[in-house]
Structure formats: C-alpha cells, structure tokens
Amino acid sequence: MKLTNSVFILFLLITLSACTSAKNIKELESLNAKNRDLESMSLVRQREIADEQKIAASLAEKSRALQAEIRFNDKFEKIRKTFTKKEANVYRQGNSLIISLKGLKFPSSQSNLKGENFTLLAKVQKAINEFDNSTVLVKGHADASGGNRFNTKVSKMRAQTVRDYFISNGIIGKDKIKAIGFKDDLPVATNKTNVGKAQNRRVDVVISL
C-alpha cells in the first residue's frame, strides 16, 4: 500500500513538474516575443530619430544659408549706394560682388594712379572691409589703341597698381588679392571715340566670399 502511494505521489510530482515546465516555456516564449516586438519598435524609433535629426540638420543649414544671403544682400545694397553712377557699376554674380570702376581714369598708355582716384579707391576699400575672409581679384582693361602685346602689358599693370595700393594701405594681405589683365578684350564702350576709349581704360574689382 505504501509503495502504491509513493508511486502515485511520484506520478503526481512528475505531472505537476511537466505542467509547470510547459507553463514556463509558454511564458518564456511570450516574453521572447515581447522582447522581439520591443526591439523592433526600438529600431523603428531609432530610424525615426535619425530621420528627424537629418531633417533638423538640413533645416539648420538652410537657415544659416538664408541668413548669410540676407547679410550679403544687405551689404550689397549698402555698398551699391556708396557709389555714384559716374563712379562705378556695382553688381552681383553668385557669391561675388563686382565693382566696375568707371570713374577710375587712366591716361592713355599709362597705369599710374592720380590723386583724384584716391577718393574712389577709398570707397572700394570700405567695400572690401565689409566682407571677412574674402578674396579679391583686380581686373585691368585697356582701350584698343595699342597692339595686342602692349595692351596685355598695360592692362596687367593697371590691375597691379590698384592691387599694390590696397596692400600698401593694409586693406588685404598679399595672398588674398590677385591682379590680371584683359587687354582690350572686354570693352564697355566703343573704341571709336575718345570718350569710349577712356571708359574702356578701367579696373574691375571682384570681391568673392
């Protein structure tokens, strides 16, 4: 009788253990499924956060670009108003401000600056100072009176003279300003009259950000 009871108890224990194991397995499977769902949700959220950060970075960049554009336009208008129509044409090309100095007169075949030019050049200096870390290109031009070789030389000398003037006044470093001559290739007026020729003997100053 005692043996029978022991067998029964052992069977009951095995049955209970099996039921408990099956229950634990189901609970474990349920927990694993929940963990997988949480991991999947976490990955989705991480991607969402990454996308949100990209959008925020893009908006911030656009905002900075817009603010820089507004500042540039404000400076452009300020500079444009400082020159009279007889002194210069001021216009913009991309990130460059171009000051075409109509009022900077050079005698025929010469590149030396005259005292009457200094007031105009002072305005150009102020324009250069408006832009930090800018580079400057000085473009020299000639009329069509001389030959190709001479006009190449004199146009470069005119640009070089203006470049040296800015450097000597401490406006900009040597490594930030260059000079180039364009001969008589880019006239702004006819070369058939003295007035037109005088207009073509000029210098353009290009300020690039």
pLDDT averaged over the chain?
85
Q: When comparing pLDDT for 83 and 1, which is higher?
A: 83
Q: What pTM was estimated for this model as a whole? A: 0.70
Pull the structure tokens for residue 150: 């001479």
DSSP assignment letter at 86: T
Instruction: Give ∠ CA 154-155-157 in degrees, rounded to 5.
Output: 60
State the sign of the Cα–Cα–Cα–Cα dihedral 199, 163, 80, 60.
Answer: positive
Reported as a single tens digit per residue, the pLDDT across 50-73 is 888 888 888 888 888 788 788 888
What is the rounded CA–CA span in Å between residue 95 and residue 207?
A: 9
Reported as a single tens digit per residue, the pLDDT across 127-173 is 999 988 899 999 999 989 888 899 999 999 999 999 999 999 888 88
Whether residue 112 contacts residue 158, with contact meaning beta carbons closer than 8 Å, is answered with no
The Cβ of residue 203 has, within 10 Å, a number of other Cβ atoms equal to 27
pLDDT of residue 40: 78
What is the rounded CA–CA span in Å between residue 207 and residue 209?
A: 7
H helix intervals, the chain = 2-82, 118-129, 148-168, 194-200
Statement: residue 31 has pLDDT above 80: no
φ, ψ (nearest 5 deg) of residue 74: -65, -45
pLDDT of residue 64: 82
